[in-house]
Structure 1
């Protein structure tokens, strides 16, 4: 079966794309302009939600970036970037995979919407400011988790770092990088130096 990923440069689809690159899997990439529901109308026939990413593997169809990354690691592993259920840090690993989107990326998407994507007359400065503060409050969990460590789980690079690393990448595109605390800033530098990350954000 062909692994097929619908992708927009810089969007959440970076997570599964980065995963594919780290794992060295063969895949088909469909690159689109963001948001594709406006610029590529036929995309709604592929994914009626109009969201990115959209991923197919045979009969499997998926829309959630962290879930696709987890699926790839579990179905096409074993891989060094995944932890198994018997690992003592498995719960922490899963929590970071899902926290990365629900807790860290979500407030940034509100900022993105109300500072860049909405027409000028619909932009909401207060909403953008409030959700910026929300993001930085949640980012403290990353800073604390990295105290004395290079990576979030198991003393090695895993999917938890891919998924959380995307949230940090998105933050840099929004101009938030100067707000990173020392552990977070050093962590992002480690992640962004990885060749697979560099390939994923270039596509």
Structure 2
């Protein structure tokens, strides 16, 4: 049985598993209580961050790497275009952009906003991270001007990556989405796989509902 440890970016993994129809279990990790109090999780990921995945003897961390592992291990699937497919370059780019360019940058904005002392919330690093987020966001905007999904006309795992990043920016960073982004997120989340993932990820669902989603 595949085990996913933690929500947060783990929502990407759960959503992908639902889309692929693979059996799994979600094992909560309470980051607020402190992972030092969770020796079972620390045995899986001694660095103490989420998500992590255990699949038999395979243990992985980093949400995008986990997604690529699942797509390769349990594919082929339309969620990951073949490398010879003309859609593959865009798919690969946006699969990684959702974390490396968007969510990772927004993380530093959010932690400064939530955890930094008052006189350090608007610090140089947080401002630079927001600039990075906004610059990468223009690539998404350009794509949405020409296609309904990141890889073209069809929903793929790249859309799971980008959708999570946009929702994280809105929910945690207070970043308003553009009309195009709102329409895109409405398309990607209007899927049974997304709804099942939300039902599984109770903390994520509670957070979204508290924000009026």
Coarse TM-score class (shorter-chain normalised):
0.7 to 0.9
1:108 aligns with 2:106: yes
Q: Name the residue aligned to 1:171.
A: 169
Deviation at 1:39, TM superposition (A): 6.7
Deviation at 1:104, TM superposition (A): 0.8
1:161 aligns with 2:159: yes
Q: Name the residue aligned to 1:190.
A: 187
Deviation at 1:121, TM superposition (A): 6.0
Matches within 5 A, 1:9-20: 11-20=8-17
Matches within 5 A, 1:40-79: 40-42=37-39, 43-79=41-77
Match of residue 132, structure 1, among 105, 130, 133? 130
Provide closer, same or farther for how the CA distance between residues 38 and 3 of structure 1 changes in structure 2, counting only shifts above 3 A: closer
TM-score under structure 2 length normalisation: 0.84
Matches within 5 A, 1:71-110: 71-110=69-108
Secondary structure at the counterpart of residue 148 of structure 2: coil
Deviation larger for 60-69 or 185-194:
185-194
- Cα deviation, 1:129-169, whole Å, max 9, x if unaligned, reads 44223312211110101113210114100011011111011
Q: Which runs of 5+ in 2 are unaligned?
A: 202-213
TM-score under structure 1 length normalisation: 0.87
Deviation at 1:7, TM superposition (A): 1.4
Distance in structure 1 (CA, Å) of the matches to 2:97 and 2:116: 30
Q: Which runs of 5+ in 1 are unaligned?
A: none
Runs of 4+ with >6 A deviation:
none
Contact preservation (8 Å) 2:101, 2:132: no
Deviation larger for 150-159 or 167-176:
167-176
Contact preservation (8 Å) 1:104, 1:139: yes
Distance in structure 1 (CA, Å) of the matches to 2:146 and 2:90: 17
Contact preservation (8 Å) 1:33, 1:40: no
Q: Name the residue aligned to 1:23.
A: 20
Q: How many residues align?
A: 198
Provide closer, same or farther for how the CA distance between residues 56 and 38 of structure 1 changes in structure 2, counting only shifts above 3 A: closer
Deviation at 1:183, TM superposition (A): 2.2
Contact preservation (8 Å) 2:79, 2:155: yes
